[in-house]
Amino acid sequence: MLKVTKLEMDIWFTPWRYKYVTSGESKEECFICAIKNEKPSPANLIVAKKRFHLVVLNKYPYTTAHLLIAPSTHVATPLESERKILEDEWWIVIRSVEVVKKLYNPWGFNIGMNLSRVAGAGLPQHYHFHVVPRWQGDHNFMSVIGGVRMIPEELEVTWNKLRREFVELGFE
């Protein structure tokens, strides 16, 4: 006989979120476009630049050395990019993985992008890759229970380490 177990689920009413979920697209300035003409620095978190792309340290990282790779042109999806930009992009993603692996020796990586706000993109109008190094146990009870991320290195320290490696690879 098949036994069906009822799954219990808490229902939380969050009326303070209503305005957010019904507001539609944000009219805020694109943070990538706002910094794309600047030189790399800890202040803007641009770690490296190539002809068509920026490598930016994530201001709100999941883990140490969480990078964003974005085209300099303001496009919402890769479908809007030129072939030369797409080819350059993947090369930069792979170089980014190599740099992070050399410096931090993670046990693995999450690499991907979220296209559109409903997919989780915090910047839906300017697509970008996430390169997230992962270690066993990097999300522990603090994240799960406390809702707090523990990043063991300050952004500026991470930026300096990454910057040196990218410059050695010929990035601006």
d(CA 112, CA 130): 5
Contact call for residues 138 and 63 (beta carbons, < 8 A): yes
Closest alpha carbon to 128 in 76, 61, 84: 76
Contact call for residues 68 and 58 (beta carbons, < 8 A): yes
Mean pLDDT of the region 74-98: 94
Residue 142: pLDDT above 70? no
> Is it true that domain 31-168 has CATH number 3.30.428.10?
yes
Mean pLDDT of the region 55-68: 93
Mean pLDDT of the region 27-52: 92
pTM of the predicted protein model:
0.80
Mean pLDDT of the region 81-95: 94
The overall average pLDDT reported for the chain is: 86
Residue 141: pLDDT above 70? no
Which stretch of 38-42, 119-123, 160-164 has the lowest confidence by average pLDDT?
A: 119-123
**pLDDT tier at 58 (50, 70, 90 boundaries)?**
very high
Mean pLDDT of the region 74-92: 92
Q: DSSP string covering 14-67, please?
A: -GGGHHHHTS-S--SPPHHHHHTTSPPBTTTTEEEE-SSEEEEE-SS-SSTT-E
Mean pLDDT of the region 144-158: 77
pLDDT at 62: 87
Phi, psi of 112 (to 5 degrees): 180, -175
pLDDT at 3: 62
d(CA 172, CA 130): 20
**pLDDT tier at 147 (50, 70, 90 boundaries)?**
low
Give pLDDT tens digits for 102-137: 999 999 999 998 888 777 767 788 899 999 999 887
